Chain A
Amino acid sequence: MNPALTGFIFLLLIATAVSACLMKDILSSVIALSVFGVLLSIVFSILQAPDVALTQAVINSGMITSIFLVAYSQTMKVRSGEDNTRVIKTYYPFRTDEMVILFICIGLGFFLWKGIVPMGFSSLSGDAANHYINFAGVETGASNIVAAVLFDYRGFDTLGEIAVIFTTVTGISILFEGSRYHRSSSGLSFIVRRSMAFVIPLIILYASSIVLMGHLSPGGGFQGGTVLATASICFCVVYGSSFEAARIHPWIKETLESTGCLFFAGLGLIGLCTGAGFLANGAAGFPLGTQGTFISGGSIPLLNMAVGMKVGAGLSSLFYSMVKILEAPFEGIPGEVE
């Protein structure tokens, strides 16, 4: 790729980051952050990481931005006695202490830079990487080496990862336990709602293709699951927040999520039972199939499905927990606030 163009994209990336830092209005900052996320996913694809680019686009710039906006709108609801100032101060010119912090941050950056200089920015290093590249196809049957690493070689990490999402979802539903759905929102106009009805199945189809083809092409359970969750966010935006809750009860989502997790763990236990080790794939007797065909990769598609189920249900219930209105009583501001 043209180095000048690459350089420009990097500059743009930095510029969006700085603008997310400096913009006066929070909403503008959030939008800048979203742009930053998209640019980052472009950079990832430049860096030959399609899987990551997809995930970044879906999760960071899609899901997280929407959660940002939900949180923002939650805090902007006017209540009596509320401090409504959104912008607390202007950010330029910098105060002295901010200058000091800036310099210290630059110093930190200098040290971090020092760590990579002697490496000379080279090459594929390590036995592990070589092994993956040379043997992943044979040993796991998957075409997507990243999926092979993620679900087979280092499948245990992935178990941990879904546990992190599980924890977060549980936690957020704890944090918003005393809340209920907002009734007033009736969604957008009729035309939008009808056209959405056509789009939603396509989104779900797309999501399931990402999930099911995870072992063949970039994508997989995380990405597909997030797209699924996006469908449910669309429901919320287009039909109003109480619609989806009425159709799909939160309990169903929690059940789906838990089932996904248990499915993953169960697949791992099969490997353990056959004596090949937890989350073993070919060694545990999963048919590896022909590499490049749909039925290949042993347990990887199954794991992808489990993860997709889990992530989709988890993220949408996370979103719905945040959309609900807090009913927490005003507890008074502790201590004296200047």
Chain B
Amino acid sequence: MTMSSMSFAAAIIIFCTGFFTLLTGRNLFRMVIGISLMEGALLLFIITVGYVPGGVPPLLPLKGLPVNPLPHAFTLTTIVIGASHIALALAFVVRIHSSYKTLDVEKIRGLRE
């Protein structure tokens, strides 16, 4: 297996794990952990897209064939955006806990029908 394929596979597996966590976790924190895992997997995925076998980091002066720098710029942005999502989600969790006194997502269903 090449580096890329391993990396892609790992990214997809982690993404699915994260999605599974999001879906089955009844605790709000666990849902946020799921989101966090998904974000991480996505980052890995994007980085792998830009990977070139045997590449060097995109720093001048170049010491060989560099990897694609564009996905790195992406990923930086994505990391920050993902972190914002997670921080926001956690803030919501704290707020929900202060009004519902529970972290069980099945009990947080004031809005329905």
Interface residues of A (CB under 8 A from B): 3, 6-7, 10, 13-14, 17-18, 20-21, 26, 29-30, 33, 36-37, 40, 43-44, 47-52, 55-56, 59-60, 63-64, 67-68, 70-72, 74-75, 79, 81-83, 85-89, 91, 98, 101-102, 105-106, 108-109, 112-113, 116, 121-126, 128-129, 132-133, 136-137, 142-146, 148-150, 154, 157-158, 160-161, 164-165, 167-168, 171-172, 175-176, 217-218, 222, 291-292, 311, 318, 321-322, 326, 328, 330-331, 333-335, 337-338
Do A335 and B112 have beta carbons less than 8 Å apart?
A: yes
Interface residues of B (CB under 8 A from A): 1-10, 12-21, 23-27, 29-30, 32-34, 36-37, 39-41, 43-44, 47-48, 50-53, 55-62, 65-73, 75-77, 79-84, 86-88, 90-95, 97-104, 107, 109-110, 112
CA distance A20 to B98 in the complex (A): 25
User: Within the complex, what minimum Cβ distance (angstroms) separates A135 from chain B?
Assistant: 11
Nearest neighbor of B3 in chain A, beta-carbon distance: A6
Total number of residue pairs linking A and B with CB closer than 8 Å: 295
CA distance A161 to B73 in the complex (A): 11
B87 touches which one: A52, A87, A292, A318 (CB < 8 A)?
A: A318
Nearest neighbor of A29 in chain B, beta-carbon distance: B33
> Do A72 and B37 form a contact, CB below 8 Å, given A144-B59, A171-B91?
no
CA distance A64 to B79 in the complex (A): 11
List 10 additional contacts besides A74-B94, A149-B69, A337-B109; criterion CB under 8 Å: A7-B1, A17-B17, A49-B47, A121-B8, A122-B52, A124-B66, A125-B68, A133-B58, A146-B76, A150-B73
